[in-house]
Structure 1
């Protein structure tokens, strides 16, 4: 390796390391705000909080790494151009393409490392992160509930406790619970108020047991007739002891995208391929089974053979003429019943198949994410390095503006493509790689113009000159 290559790699490495550390620290702080409801006011020791954040930290690397690469590339090459170091290289016969050669190999190695990191480290961190939250709640059940505020537990339960006592805060005072009936969609349908409560858990169980003492139970009654709902009927009862089991896995359903820890994110590439194959086979079997059950339920083949036999025996054009009015009425009722049953079955099966298809798509999304992390390093480098050489600005001024704009565009397209791919609106591969497909031509364009010393300006004289001539004619007239 020549002295020039060592100098370029050293300059880039120092800038990249500084930028990565700063951005990583900023995103970790953002993670603290994301999980502040789980950390604040729940009597956790400092070591547990450090473990909590350390298991969360690897998940932000896919965000920090591309931004660090593009920003470090613009700053490094912009500084070379601003200080006329590229001019000195060109005067010595060294082109920009030659200057980027060893650094390109360095970025390629960084891409491989990022893929290995995404395939091995991030899944383990996700697994440990989820299990740490579960362990904390099992050992300290009161962590799931903070004092003086409503705490969401899953999609349907909110609980508020005025005071917690005991070694682990397991004894509760003045408990209020709102339980929403998700099927009705009419808000908090059940309210439970109790003077005292006790939280219990078992390390070998996924459930948290809440025992309420001396309380009242209020439930909205929804009449079948719509006009009776204006009376606001409700049922009230009192109890000495009321036991409620809370599924600990439901505690992860209200944390947004960054905190949503699903099983597919804990799998490596080989495990994902095996899981996707199993899910796809089950999905295909469900489709075949649904079609066969629909045919058997309606028994179309049997009915068709019967109609053909009657038609041949009686030589009639309308098959209904051979039945009496009573039989026609029964046939009509049977047809209506079969149609309604088939429609209900189709709707339920459609919802089930859509859910399974989304689950398959979610696994494919994670597969593509592992490769996108690696490719994004190369993409951001071939956008940032030539752009820095073209704008000829180093430091932390204009390069930060360009880097943020490029990264926001990349991240927005990634997020948008991921969402519509999971919903099966477009193919998963297209949705996940849409940002790379759009930005790769930009990287090639900037690299070509920078290596040929053309600059970023494009000649539009072929379009502007005819317009100028047209206006000059009008001005003369």
Structure 2
């Protein structure tokens, strides 16, 4: 049996490494196209690009592992079945699950590696990739002086070259617009017939030395009198302009600025984020509810403590005590006992029912004779109260009512506008947290899909295995995207959406494994053929009967 395990491991490791590298490369190229416009033309060093690719490769490991396991398992079992080695194992009493045992162990180890990468390595890699990509996006393109093109790479300067020699230094017909003092109304223009350009200071400065040119300066009218200033024209034989190239360098920002993104959080950080968002939603709802108390004081105030106050030192202030359910019940029972005892002291205990009813009637008659009850009148209605006011007071009441309605409506509309976005962020946090587990579990599921499929198709190599694997992997990706959209649309719960691809593929893997263990085809066409033949025979019999009746 150990020889069988060694054989399976030797047969599996090679294709797994190759397919994992291919899957990682294909997924990386797919992602790289999204950032190609941000990277091209920025003059980035080779090592910086390799650093970005390394960070992105780490983030693609949980997606490349299941694909590599699926393809390699189909290839290994397909090769065994194609060369009748799997049939030899079965004839010797070795079942399919025993043959698959080393692959199942590798799948379990891959699931652990996938979860470890998703929870520990990928958040740090995504954090570094996000910060570096932001720095690259903010970086200006490399300086490129093309003849006949207005260049605006330098801030507040526009440069046009009429011509440039092959050596890259000599230039002619130079035009420079200087807008450094445009906020003061001063515009400057420099024109030169020829010149040279070069870098200095170890590439930190760009120098343009111009010859035989003119400088024009125009200022807008200013001063108290509004008189226009004279137009100035200066001729020069030689003029040197130095530009600082520090704005073209890559500015690195702190990685902590991007640490709150979902893709850069581990499982426990996502869980804390879900709790914080839930508290934020509850706080906003409570604030909206208590906001109505300013206009409707009869409503009960929501006194739920959503965020307990921070405990203060004992020497400064006694810590507040929050009652649990048992303490609250004991407090209520104690109050009821006190109320009952005080009521018993005020009213004598009466055992006779007739005497009790007589006391109740006497108490009711006494209350009805009270001045507050005796002088009661029917409610005249709101209109009569408003009509009793003067015109000035009535307008003041109406304006106050409109202002209150606008305030309440504004608060409600703000909550309606903000709460769905906050709830969507919470769902995304929940979905991303459970997808870390789901991507790990699918590694094991793909072993139970790929190995039986290899035993069924009985083809090795890169032909049928890749075709079969791509079909199941595309189905998994489609399910993942579809479930994400369902969760973000609040159709299903975020937890259920994260596990739904595994829930759908798990019964499929069991069915394929059972078919392979029974040496059955994936889809049996015998029953379909029998049904077709029966239908064809019935048509022929019916046609024969019609012919007999006509004859």
TM-score (norm 1): 0.70
For 2:296, the equivalent position in structure 1 comes to 299
Matches of 2:403 and 2:135, distance apart in 1 = 52
For residue 162 of structure 1, report the CA deviation from its aligned partner: 3.0
For 1:245, the equivalent position in structure 2 comes to none
Residue 282 of structure 2 is aligned to residue 284 of structure 1: yes
Residue 391 of structure 2 is aligned to residue 321 of structure 1: no
- Which region of structure 1 is more displaced relative to structure 2, 348-357 or 454-463? 454-463
- Per-residue CA deviations over 1:293-333 (Å, capped at 9, x if unaligned) read 1x214316289xxxxx9xx9541464323431857776666
The alpha-carbon distance between structure 1 residues 63 and 161, as it changes in their structure 2 partners (threshold 3 A), is: farther
Give the root-mean-square deviation of aligned CA atoms.
Answer: 3.6
Residue 273 of structure 2 is aligned to residue 275 of structure 1: yes
Q: How does 1:334-345 map to 2 (within 5 A)?
A: 335-345=401-411
Task: Specify the SS of the correspondent of 1:351.
Answer: helix
For 2:262, the equivalent position in structure 1 comes to 264
For 1:151, the equivalent position in structure 2 comes to none
For residue 21 of structure 1, report the CA deviation from its aligned partner: 0.7
Matches of 2:398 and 2:286, distance apart in 1 = 29
For residue 264 of structure 1, report the CA deviation from its aligned partner: 2.0
For 2:52, the equivalent position in structure 1 comes to 52
For residue 409 of structure 1, report the CA deviation from its aligned partner: 1.1
Larger Rg: 1 or 2?
2
Q: Could you tell me whether the CA contact under 8 Å between 2:81 and 2:87 is conserved in 1?
A: yes
- Which region of structure 1 is more displaced relative to structure 2, 29-38 or 441-450? 29-38
Matches of 2:540 and 2:399, distance apart in 1 = 82
The alpha-carbon distance between structure 1 residues 457 and 56, as it changes in their structure 2 partners (threshold 3 A), is: closer
For 1:104, the equivalent position in structure 2 comes to 104
Matches of 1:71 and 1:378, distance apart in 2 = 13
For 1:203, the equivalent position in structure 2 comes to none
Q: Which is richer in helix?
A: 1
Residue 515 of structure 2 is aligned to residue 449 of structure 1: yes
Matches of 1:71 and 1:62, distance apart in 2 = 15
Q: Aligned match of 2:153 in 138, 153, 164?
A: 164
Matches of 2:452 and 2:108, distance apart in 1 = 17
- Per-residue CA deviations over 1:197-244 (Å, capped at 9, x if unaligned) read 8xxxxxxxxxxxxxx764899xxxxxxxxxxxxxxxxxxxx9xxxxxx
TM-score (norm 2): 0.61
Matches of 2:401 and 2:541, distance apart in 1 = 78
The alpha-carbon distance between structure 1 residues 454 and 341, as it changes in their structure 2 partners (threshold 3 A), is: same
Matches of 1:88 and 1:342, distance apart in 2 = 79
- Per-residue CA deviations over 1:93-147 (Å, capped at 9, x if unaligned) read 111121112221121111111111111110010111123234557xxx6x25577
Q: Which aligned segments of 4 or more residues in structure 1 are displaced greater than 4 angstroms?
A: 134-137, 144-148, 194-197, 325-337, 461-470
- Structure 2 segments unaligned to the other structure (5+ residues): 161-175, 186-219, 221-250, 301-371, 547-551
Q: Could you tell me whether the CA contact under 8 Å between 2:42 and 2:136 is conserved in 1?
A: no
Matches of 1:339 and 1:386, distance apart in 2 = 67
For residue 469 of structure 1, report the CA deviation from its aligned partner: 6.4
Task: Specify the SS of the correspondent of 1:410.
Answer: helix
Matches of 1:161 and 1:58, distance apart in 2 = 42
Q: Could you tell me whether the CA contact under 8 Å between 1:119 and 1:370 is conserved in 2?
A: yes
Q: Could you tell me whether the CA contact under 8 Å between 1:66 and 1:376 is conserved in 2?
A: yes
Q: Aligned match of 1:475 in 522, 528, 543?
A: 543
Q: How does 1:392-471 map to 2 (within 5 A)?
A: 392-458=458-524, 460=527, 467=535, 471=539
The alpha-carbon distance between structure 1 residues 37 and 316, as it changes in their structure 2 partners (threshold 3 A), is: same
